[in-house]
Amino acid sequence: NFMLTQPHSVSESPGKTVTISCTRSSGSIASNYVQWYQQRPGSAPTTVIYEDNQRPSGVPDRFSGSIDSSSNSASLTISGLKTEDEADYYCQSYDSSNPVVFGGGTKLTVL
Amino acid sequence: EVQLVQSGAEVKKPGESLKISCKGSGYSFTSYWIGWVRQMPGKGLEWMGIIYPGDSDTRYSPSFQGQVTISADKSISTAYLQWSSLKASDTAMYYCARLSEGWFDPWGQGTLVTVSS
Protein backbone atom coordinates (compact mmCIF):
# COMPACT_ATOMS: atom_id res chain seq x y z
CA ASN A 1 0.00 0.00 0.00
CA PHE A 2 1.16 3.53 -0.69
CA MET A 3 0.29 6.81 0.98
CA LEU A 4 -0.19 10.32 -0.32
CA THR A 5 1.22 13.03 1.94
CA GLN A 6 0.03 16.63 1.79
CA PRO A 7 0.94 19.67 3.91
CA HIS A 8 -1.62 20.22 6.63
CA SER A 9 -2.17 23.85 5.72
CA VAL A 10 -1.03 26.63 3.41
CA SER A 11 -1.91 30.30 3.30
CA GLU A 12 -1.48 33.09 0.80
CA SER A 13 -2.86 36.50 -0.04
CA PRO A 14 -5.52 37.27 -2.63
CA GLY A 15 -4.12 37.64 -6.13
CA LYS A 16 -1.04 35.55 -5.36
CA THR A 17 -0.17 32.02 -6.46
CA VAL A 18 -0.10 28.98 -4.17
CA THR A 19 1.06 25.42 -4.77
CA ILE A 20 -0.08 22.37 -2.79
CA SER A 21 2.06 19.24 -2.96
CA CYS A 22 1.08 15.58 -2.76
CA THR A 23 3.94 13.10 -2.33
CA ARG A 24 3.55 9.40 -3.07
CA SER A 25 5.30 7.13 -0.56
CA SER A 26 6.06 4.19 -2.85
CA GLY A 27 5.64 3.41 -6.50
CA SER A 28 5.95 6.00 -9.22
CA ILE A 29 3.71 9.07 -9.16
CA ALA A 30 3.60 8.79 -12.94
CA SER A 31 2.21 5.25 -12.88
CA ASN A 32 -1.34 6.26 -12.02
CA TYR A 33 -3.27 9.45 -12.53
CA VAL A 34 -3.67 11.96 -9.69
CA GLN A 35 -6.86 13.87 -9.03
CA TRP A 36 -7.53 16.93 -6.87
CA TYR A 37 -10.78 17.70 -5.05
CA GLN A 38 -11.91 20.95 -3.49
CA GLN A 39 -14.15 20.87 -0.44
CA ARG A 40 -15.61 24.12 0.80
CA PRO A 41 -16.98 24.19 4.38
CA GLY A 42 -20.29 22.40 4.65
CA SER A 43 -20.20 21.09 1.08
CA ALA A 44 -19.39 17.87 -0.73
CA PRO A 45 -16.06 17.61 -2.55
CA THR A 46 -15.86 18.60 -6.20
CA THR A 47 -13.19 17.79 -8.77
CA VAL A 48 -10.84 20.58 -9.79
CA ILE A 49 -8.19 18.46 -11.55
CA TYR A 50 -8.35 14.91 -12.92
CA GLU A 51 -5.81 12.75 -14.74
CA ASP A 52 -2.87 14.79 -13.39
CA ASN A 53 -3.62 18.04 -15.23
CA GLN A 54 -7.09 18.03 -16.76
CA ARG A 55 -9.71 20.54 -15.68
CA PRO A 56 -13.41 19.64 -15.69
CA SER A 57 -15.64 22.07 -17.52
CA GLY A 58 -16.51 24.97 -15.29
CA VAL A 59 -13.24 24.95 -13.34
CA PRO A 60 -11.33 28.18 -14.05
CA ASP A 61 -7.93 27.97 -15.70
CA ARG A 62 -6.43 29.50 -12.55
CA PHE A 63 -6.31 25.88 -11.37
CA SER A 64 -3.58 23.66 -12.82
CA GLY A 65 -2.06 20.30 -11.96
CA SER A 66 1.29 18.70 -12.61
CA ILE A 67 3.47 15.78 -11.57
CA ASP A 68 7.20 15.67 -10.86
CA SER A 69 8.85 12.27 -11.08
CA SER A 70 12.05 13.51 -9.46
CA SER A 71 10.24 14.26 -6.20
CA ASN A 72 7.57 11.60 -6.79
CA SER A 73 4.92 14.17 -6.19
CA ALA A 74 1.94 15.90 -7.74
CA SER A 75 1.10 19.56 -7.35
CA LEU A 76 -1.99 21.70 -7.51
CA THR A 77 -1.31 25.32 -8.38
CA ILE A 78 -3.88 28.06 -7.96
CA SER A 79 -3.02 31.45 -9.44
CA GLY A 80 -4.77 34.77 -8.94
CA LEU A 81 -6.09 33.58 -5.60
CA LYS A 82 -9.61 34.60 -4.64
CA THR A 83 -11.25 34.41 -1.25
CA GLU A 84 -13.66 31.85 -2.70
CA ASP A 85 -10.71 29.46 -3.20
CA GLU A 86 -10.44 29.07 0.58
CA ALA A 87 -11.22 25.39 1.12
CA ASP A 88 -9.74 21.99 1.88
CA TYR A 89 -7.98 20.30 -1.03
CA TYR A 90 -7.43 16.55 -1.33
CA CYS A 91 -5.28 14.62 -3.77
CA GLN A 92 -6.29 11.10 -4.78
CA SER A 93 -4.73 8.29 -6.78
CA TYR A 94 -4.86 4.51 -7.05
CA ASP A 95 -2.96 1.44 -8.18
CA SER A 96 -3.77 -2.14 -9.12
CA SER A 97 -4.05 -3.20 -5.47
CA ASN A 98 -5.68 -0.05 -4.07
CA PRO A 99 -8.63 1.27 -6.04
CA VAL A 100 -8.66 4.55 -4.10
CA VAL A 101 -6.05 6.37 -2.01
CA PHE A 102 -6.67 9.86 -0.61
CA GLY A 103 -4.14 12.31 0.72
CA GLY A 104 -4.76 13.73 4.17
CA GLY A 105 -5.98 17.06 2.86
CA THR A 106 -4.62 20.61 2.90
CA LYS A 107 -6.45 23.58 4.34
CA LEU A 108 -5.97 26.63 2.12
CA THR A 109 -6.42 29.98 3.81
CA VAL A 110 -6.66 33.08 1.64
CA LEU A 111 -5.92 36.02 3.87
CA GLU B 1 -27.23 15.72 -15.88
CA VAL B 2 -25.33 13.03 -14.01
CA GLN B 3 -26.47 13.12 -10.40
CA LEU B 4 -26.21 11.13 -7.19
CA VAL B 5 -28.84 11.83 -4.53
CA GLN B 6 -28.36 10.45 -1.04
CA SER B 7 -30.88 9.70 1.67
CA GLY B 8 -31.41 12.12 4.53
CA ALA B 9 -29.66 12.58 7.86
CA GLU B 10 -30.04 9.86 10.48
CA VAL B 11 -29.87 9.88 14.28
CA LYS B 12 -29.41 6.45 15.81
CA LYS B 13 -28.51 4.81 19.11
CA PRO B 14 -25.47 2.57 19.61
CA GLY B 15 -26.24 -1.01 18.63
CA GLU B 16 -28.93 -0.08 16.12
CA SER B 17 -28.77 -1.00 12.45
CA LEU B 18 -28.85 1.43 9.55
CA LYS B 19 -28.92 1.43 5.75
CA ILE B 20 -28.36 4.63 3.79
CA SER B 21 -28.84 5.03 0.06
CA CYS B 22 -27.44 6.73 -3.02
CA LYS B 23 -29.59 6.98 -6.16
CA GLY B 24 -27.94 7.61 -9.51
CA SER B 25 -29.53 9.28 -12.51
CA GLY B 26 -28.52 10.69 -15.88
CA TYR B 27 -26.17 7.85 -16.82
CA SER B 28 -25.96 4.08 -17.15
CA PHE B 29 -25.91 3.08 -13.47
CA THR B 30 -24.66 -0.43 -14.20
CA SER B 31 -21.59 0.76 -16.12
CA TYR B 32 -19.70 2.65 -13.41
CA TRP B 33 -18.34 1.80 -9.98
CA ILE B 34 -19.90 3.65 -7.04
CA GLY B 35 -17.75 4.41 -4.01
CA TRP B 36 -18.51 5.31 -0.39
CA VAL B 37 -16.34 7.78 1.50
CA ARG B 38 -16.40 8.61 5.21
CA GLN B 39 -15.57 12.01 6.68
CA MET B 40 -15.49 12.16 10.45
CA PRO B 41 -16.05 15.56 12.08
CA GLY B 42 -13.16 17.88 11.26
CA LYS B 43 -11.21 15.12 9.51
CA GLY B 44 -10.25 14.09 6.00
CA LEU B 45 -11.74 11.79 3.39
CA GLU B 46 -11.50 8.02 3.92
CA TRP B 47 -12.32 5.51 1.20
CA MET B 48 -14.61 2.75 2.52
CA GLY B 49 -15.35 0.61 -0.51
CA ILE B 50 -16.66 0.45 -4.05
CA ILE B 51 -19.29 -1.57 -5.87
CA TYR B 52 -19.95 -2.27 -9.54
CA PRO B 53 -23.74 -2.36 -9.84
CA GLY B 54 -23.58 -4.30 -13.09
CA ASP B 55 -22.51 -7.49 -11.32
CA SER B 56 -22.32 -6.38 -7.65
CA ASP B 57 -18.53 -6.89 -7.54
CA THR B 58 -17.50 -5.18 -4.28
CA ARG B 59 -14.10 -4.13 -2.91
CA TYR B 60 -13.58 -2.91 0.64
CA SER B 61 -10.85 -0.83 2.17
CA PRO B 62 -9.06 -3.01 4.75
CA SER B 63 -10.02 -0.42 7.37
CA PHE B 64 -13.73 -1.03 6.76
CA GLN B 65 -13.84 -4.72 5.78
CA GLY B 66 -16.28 -6.46 8.11
CA GLN B 67 -17.50 -3.18 9.59
CA VAL B 68 -20.00 -2.23 6.88
CA THR B 69 -21.80 -3.81 3.93
CA ILE B 70 -22.06 -2.21 0.51
CA SER B 71 -24.76 -3.33 -1.89
CA ALA B 72 -26.69 -2.13 -4.93
CA ASP B 73 -30.08 -2.64 -6.55
CA LYS B 74 -29.58 -1.98 -10.24
CA SER B 75 -33.31 -2.16 -10.93
CA ILE B 76 -33.73 1.16 -9.11
CA SER B 77 -30.21 2.57 -9.74
CA THR B 78 -29.44 2.71 -6.03
CA ALA B 79 -26.38 1.83 -3.98
CA TYR B 80 -26.45 1.22 -0.24
CA LEU B 81 -24.18 1.39 2.77
CA GLN B 82 -25.29 -0.47 5.86
CA TRP B 83 -24.30 -1.19 9.44
CA SER B 84 -25.62 -4.03 11.58
CA SER B 85 -24.60 -2.52 14.91
CA LEU B 86 -23.68 1.16 15.04
CA LYS B 87 -21.07 2.62 17.36
CA ALA B 88 -20.60 6.20 18.49
CA SER B 89 -17.42 6.25 16.39
CA ASP B 90 -19.55 5.78 13.24
CA THR B 91 -20.75 9.37 13.65
CA ALA B 92 -19.67 11.04 10.40
CA MET B 93 -20.71 12.41 7.04
CA TYR B 94 -20.89 9.71 4.39
CA TYR B 95 -20.57 10.48 0.69
CA CYS B 96 -21.20 8.34 -2.34
CA ALA B 97 -19.50 9.16 -5.63
CA ARG B 98 -19.26 7.69 -9.11
CA LEU B 99 -15.83 6.29 -9.92
CA SER B 100 -14.82 6.85 -13.52
CA GLU B 101 -11.34 6.03 -14.87
CA GLY B 102 -9.88 6.28 -11.37
CA TRP B 103 -11.52 9.48 -10.20
CA PHE B 104 -14.68 10.35 -8.32
CA ASP B 105 -17.24 12.51 -10.05
CA PRO B 106 -19.91 13.49 -9.31
CA TRP B 107 -20.35 13.22 -5.57
CA GLY B 108 -23.60 12.90 -3.67
CA GLN B 109 -24.60 15.64 -1.27
CA GLY B 110 -23.66 13.53 1.75
CA THR B 111 -25.62 11.80 4.52
CA LEU B 112 -24.90 12.80 8.11
CA VAL B 113 -25.09 9.87 10.51
CA THR B 114 -25.15 10.67 14.23
CA VAL B 115 -24.88 7.83 16.73
CA SER B 116 -25.59 8.85 20.30
CA SER B 117 -27.24 7.37 23.34
Q: What is the pLDDT along chain A (111 residues), one digit of tens a residue?
A: 899 999 999 999 999 999 999 999 999 999 999 999 999 999 999 999 999 999 999 999 999 999 999 999 999 999 999 999 999 999 999 998 889 999 999 999 999
Cα dist from B21 to A61, A75, A100, whole Å: 35, 34, 21
**Tens-place pLDDT, residues B70-117:** 999 999 999 999 999 999 999 999 999 999 988 999 999 999 999 999
Of A33, A45, A102, the CB nearest to B102: A33
Does the beta carbon of A51 lie under 8 angstroms from any beta carbon of chain B? yes
Give residue B8's pLDDT: 98
Q: Do B45 and A37 touch (CB under 8 A)?
A: yes
Q: Do A46 and B107 touch (CB under 8 A)?
A: yes
From B63's Cα to the closest Cα of chain A, the distance in A is 12
C-alpha radius of gyration, chain A, whole number? 13
Q: Which residues pair with B22 in a beta bridge?
A: B6, B79
Q: Which residues pair with A22 in a beta bridge?
A: A74
Give residue A1's pLDDT: 87
Looking at chain B, which residue has its C-alpha nearest residue A43? Answer: B109
CA B71, A103, A94, B49: dihedral to nearest 10 degrees? -10
Q: Do A32 and B109 touch (CB under 8 A)?
A: no
- Per the CB < 8 A criterion, the answer to whether A67 and A30 are in contact is yes
Give residue A9's pLDDT: 98
Taking residues B57-78, report their average pLDDT. 97
Say how many CB pairs under 8 Å bridge A and B: 62
Q: Do A33 and B103 touch (CB under 8 A)?
A: yes
- DSSP annotation of A97: S
- Strands B10-12 and B111-115, by their bridges, are parallel
Q: Do B104 and A56 touch (CB under 8 A)?
A: no
Chain A partners of B44 at a C-beta cutoff of 8 Å? Answer: 88, 90, 102-105
| Distant-in-sequence contacts of A38-43, Cβ < 8 A, 24+ apart | A38/A85, A38/A87, A38/A88, A38/A89, A39/A87, A39/A88, A39/A89, A39/A90, A39/A105, A39/B45, A40/A86, A40/A87, A41/A87
Does the beta carbon of A111 lie under 8 angstroms from any beta carbon of chain B? no
Assess whether pLDDT exceeds 90 at residue B57: yes
Q: Is the peptide bond before B106 cis (omega within 30 degrees of 0)?
A: yes
